[in-house]
Amino acid sequence: MLRKLNLQIKDTVFEPGSTQNKVYYRSEGKTTWYKVWILLEGSDLLYVAGVTYRLHSTFPDPEQNVRRTTTNPNCQLSIWSWGLFTIRATVEDKFGRIHEYVHQMNYDKELERRRQDTDFESDETVA
């Protein structure tokens, strides 16, 4: 039986690795979009070759492939999102084996919990 890798998908509105408590947003009418990072965490990251994130079907490119590199060791992907949805991920390990993961986004809880110490910065330049 294939052992599942010790990995989790994480979503956050705070840039991973940054010491700033900054959230990027943009508004379109009554809708607020947030810049969200999706990434892998866990003790088995070193076994990951890459991941395919499957986003909500309303995204122009709902399937995003991210290779694990020295400059992107957590397979980070940034998106603009106005809502929460379920992310499905197919992780390929360095031995060519496939592992499936499912994650319900929850950046709203993080945003609510840290709202007092957060700087909100408008980024209207992102399409």
Q: Give me the pLDDT at residue 124, please.
A: 65
Question: Which pLDDT score, from 0 to 100, does residue 102 have?
Answer: 97
Which residue positions in the chain have pLDDT lower than 50? Answer: 126-127
What b/e string do you get for 33-65 counting C-beta neighbours within 10 Å, with b at 16 or more?
bbbbbbbbebeebebbebbebebeeeeeeeebe
**pLDDT for res 54:** 98
- What is the structure's pLDDT at 127? 47
User: Which of 44, 55, 47 minimizes the C-alpha distance to 103?
Assistant: 55
**Reported pTM:** 0.89
Nearest to 8 by CA among 52, 32, 44, 34: 44
CATH of domain 8-122: 2.60.40.1970
Q: What DSSP element (H or E) covers 110?
A: helix 107-113
- For the record, the structure tokens of 1 come out as 């039986």
